[in-house]
Amino acid sequence: MILAQTTEPFIRWNWVWSHLDMIWGRTVQHLALTGIALGVGFLISIVLSMIALRYRRTYAPITWVTGVLYSIPSLALFVMLIPLTGLSVTTAEIGLVSYTLLIFIRNIVAGIDGVPQEVREAALGMGYTRRRMLLEIELPIALPVVIAGIRIATVTTVGLVTITALIGLGGLGQLILDGLNRLFTTPLIVGSVLSVVLALLLDGVLVLVERALTPWARRKATIG
């Protein structure tokens, strides 16, 4: 690759102003890809977590399989899926969703496991059914840990969406790739800075959501 002209400024603001629509579109696509992955991943994870909590023996195999999925480099996974699902949103989402599973499942199970036994017994003594206990007792108590998981999964997904640019999607990753290919620093910086901002912003929103949903919590969930 050839080094860019040293006279080239880091950012050409007139390029940014004249491409605002495009940048906005990429941001929206980035959010959409992230949202789908998190939503689908969370639903699958809830089901798998419930199975793991009900039938303890399944927990080890579930975390093993999702752990193996998690350790596949995203670049490789996307490329390997192309022969099966083409250059499509499906390809991107299969990868993105599979990476959220381990994070979600570990945190949901750990959160519900962390509910003190006395609390459960008190709930049973008050005549709670299993389902009501789960929804009204266990999930709220587990919430900080679950949200910690959602935060990690969100940051993971926002970051990895940029890599789907290599298979023609990518949201803000498209800008980055375009900048890299042409060694034109403006889109490269706009794309990467916006994706960092997006990750920090969503993370901050989730912190606020946690505060709002757990008014009783004095101490923050510690992760480890």
106 or 123: whose CB is closer to other proteins? 106
Q: Is 79 in the site for other proteins (CB under 8 A)?
A: yes
Q: How many residues bind other proteins (CB under 8 A)?
A: 51
**180 scored as a contact of other proteins (CB under 8 A):** yes
Q: Is 150 in the site for other proteins (CB under 8 A)?
A: no
The CB-of-217 to other proteins minimum distance in angstroms stands at 15
10 Å CB burial of residue 68 (0-12, 13-18, 19+) is exposed
Q: What is the closest distance, in whole angstroms, from the C-beta atom of residue 166 to other proteins in the complex?
A: 7
13: left (phi over 0), alpha (psi -120 to 50) or beta: alpha
CA atoms within 13 A on the CB side of 166: 11
Question: Which tokens hold the place of 157?
Answer: 């997904």
Backbone dihedral angles phi then psi of residue 56, each to the nearest 5 degrees: -50, -35
- State phi, psi for 219 to the nearest 5 degrees: -100, 145
Q: Find the binder of other proteins among 73, 116, 125, 215 (CB under 8 A).
A: 73
What mask of x and - would describe binding to other proteins in positions 102 to 121, judged by CB under 8 A? Answer: xx--xx--------------
Q: Is 166 in the site for other proteins (CB under 8 A)?
A: yes
Q: HSE (CB half, 13 Å, CA atoms) of 32?
A: 11
CB 36 within 8 A of CB 125: no
Report the interface residues with other proteins, using CB under 8 A.
Answer: 1, 3-4, 6, 10, 67, 70-77, 79-80, 83, 99, 102-103, 106-107, 151-153, 155-156, 158-160, 162-163, 166, 173, 176, 179-180, 185, 188-189, 191-193, 195-196, 199-200, 203, 222-224
